[in-house]
Amino acid sequence: MTGRVLRVGRHRGPVWSGYFADPFVLRLSDGGYVAYGTHPGSDGDRVFEALVSPDLAGWESAGAVLERLPADFGDDYWAPEVAEAGGAFWMYYSVGRGIDGHHLRVARADSATGPFHDVGADLTPGEVFAIDAHPFRDVDGRWYLFFARDVLDHERPGTHLAVARLADGMTALDGPIVPVLAPNADWQLYERDRLIHGRRFDWHTLEGPAVLHREGRYWLTYSGGAWTGERYAVGVAVADHPLGPWEHVDQPPLLRSGGGLRGPGHNSLTVAPDGSDVIAFHSWNADASARQLHLGTLEVVDA
């Protein structure tokens, strides 16, 4: 365990009126920000709306930025995240049908607002289900890819977190997939007696990993529980290396329902123009018809 914890301070939102789930906010190397989000029922030749902002205060839509794959890959595109590396932009995402067939893929663009073109690589061919890719650049410049995957043979079966190194070309994993974090608490229960993968489980879910390095340690935020309701919340883990070992931080959920938030989760982490840390996340609106983008301050404090 650790004597330090993460804390969210002021938060505001929604900062965009439209549907914008699973928000990832990229701070550009030459200034400004681009946010990418999931939108159900996307149609046309492109998916994943991008929003642009000079300062995290006001946002404008740049439209959908990923060129859609052939229909046999599926029509549900989830949780885009983007890395800027090697003079290009690399989008990591999953595609499938509902909860079936999702694997992680990567697309490339010359601009942060696309168009992104899939490079033809399935990054997780050996996984039964993989979503929520998170590219993380370490302090030494090495890239890692965190993600969520289904694990059936475990004390708490469900969706767990894993990581692997990214190859220098950003389009393949370099080395073995390493377990990061398994569910450890009842608040992470998705559904009891859930029928999935041809069996029934008391299914637990950890998803939406995001990592930052502060005070000499690595902090990981994740969402737990069922994204569909008010029990969805954000937890924290800590490690001394991106490959772990990782351990849950003994603190209440970082974000949970209350104070104007409803099922907050699937966050990303960025840095404000003044150098302070910012957490971006979605929360359901009042009638639970849309998940919308919120922003909050984030800091490491004494427990």
User: Which residue has 């990592």 as its token pair?
Assistant: 211
pLDDT at 44 (0 to 100): 82
Tens-digit pLDDT profile for residues 3-15: 899 999 999 999 9
The full set of domain ranges for the chain reads 4-302
Full-prediction pTM beyond 0.85? yes
User: Are the beta carbons of 292 and 105 closer than 8 angstroms?
Assistant: no
pLDDT at 3 (0 to 100): 85
* Percentage of the chain modeled with pLDDT above 90: 95
Tens-digit pLDDT profile for residues 63-76: 999 999 999 999 99
Average pLDDT across the chain, whole number: 96
HSE (side-chain half, CA atoms, 13 Å) at 58: 1
DSSP assignment of 232-248 = -EEEEEEESSTT---EE
DSSP assignment of 6-20 = EEEEEEE--SSSS--
d(CA 277, CA 269): 7
Within 8 A by CB and 6+ apart from 133, the residues are: 79, 81, 92, 93, 94, 104, 123, 145, 146, 147
pLDDT at 1 (0 to 100): 43
**pLDDT(208) > 50:** yes
pLDDT at 41 (0 to 100): 65
Pair type for strands 130-137 and 117-122: unpaired
CATH number corresponding to 4-302: 2.115.10.20
* Percentage of the chain modeled with pLDDT above 70: 98
Which whole number is the average pLDDT over 66-91? Answer: 96
